[in-house]
Amino acid sequence: DQQVKQNSPSLSVQEGRISILNCDYTNSMFDYFLWYKKYPAEGPTFLISISSIKDKNEDGRFTVFLNKSAKHLSLHIVPSQPGDSAVYFCAASDGDSNYQLIWGAGTKLIIKP
Amino acid sequence: GAVVSQHPSRVICKSGTSVKIECRSLDFQATTMFWYRQFPKQSLMLMATSNEGSKATYEQGVEKDKFLINHASLTLSTLTVTSAHPEDSSFYICSATGPTDNQPQHFGDGTRLSIL
C-alpha cells in the first residue's frame, strides 16, 4: 500500500518554463513533507519542506504547495534550468521522533534546452 | 548546509566477503541515522534506523544478522554487510538527522556494492 504516490514517472519541461511536480498521500497523520532531488549514483539532496500548518513555502526558485483536504502537494520550479534535470522524490513524515520518511517513487524531470 | 560523508563510494568484492560502509556527519550531531537501499529505477527502501548509543531498529524483511549496524557516536554509523552474496549487490545510502527533532535528513552520496 503506497502511502505516498508520485503518479508521473517522468516530466519534460522547456528551459525557462515552470516545472510542476505532484505528490499525493493517503495517511492523514502525515504532518511534515519534504522534496528531495537526486542525481544518478548520488544521495538525495534536500530541497524544501513544508509543515502541515502551512499551505505554501517558498525558497528561491522552489515553492511547495500543500492542500491538506485533497492530500496533495506540489513542487513548483520556476524558471526551470538545465541543472534541474534529476529525479525528484516527495517524502512524508508523521512526526515520529525517529523522523522516518515515507517516500514516493520519484519523478524524473527533464529540462529541454 | 549540513554535510554527510559516506565511504567507500564503490566496492567490488568476491562472494563471502564482509563489507563495511561508513557514514559520518561532518558538521552536526546526528542523533539518528538511517540506512537505505536503492534498486534500479525504484525508490529508496529503508533498511534500518539507528539512534546513537542504541540498537538499530530494522524494517520488516531486513536481516539484522546480515546487515550489522553500529551507531557508536553522534557522528558515525557503520553498516556491515556480512558474508555478502551477489543478491546483496545494490546502492546503499545513509542519511543523518539531528540534533533536534524535525530536522531534514541529509544524505551521503551512497555506496555502489558489487558482489562477484
| Distance from C-alpha of A62 to C-alpha of B1, rounded to nearest angstrom | 17
The rounded mean pLDDT for chain A is 91
The domain in which residue A77 lies consists of 4-96+103-108
Contact A98 B108 (CB under 8 A): no
Q: What is the pLDDT of residue A76?
A: 98
In chain A, the percentage of residues whose pLDDT exceeds 90 is 69
The domain that contains A18 carries what CATH number? 2.60.40.10
Domain count for chain A: 1
In a domain, A38, yes or no: yes
In a domain, A25, yes or no: yes
In a domain, A48, yes or no: yes
* Average pLDDT rounded to a whole number, residues B95-116: 85
If we measure between CA atoms, which residue out of B7, B48, B49 comes closest to residue B26? B7
In a domain, A113, yes or no: no
C-alpha distance from B89 to closest chain A C-alpha (Å): 14
In a domain, A62, yes or no: yes
Q: What is the pLDDT of residue A97?
A: 43
CB contacts under 8 A, B 35-74 vs A, are: 42-44, 46, 49, 51, 57
Residues B31-59 have pLDDT tens digits of 889 999 987 766 788 899 998 888 899 99
Question: A99 and B32 in contact (C-beta within 8 Å)?
Answer: yes
Asked whether residue A2 carries a pLDDT value surpassing 80, the answer given is: no
Place of cell 558474508: B83
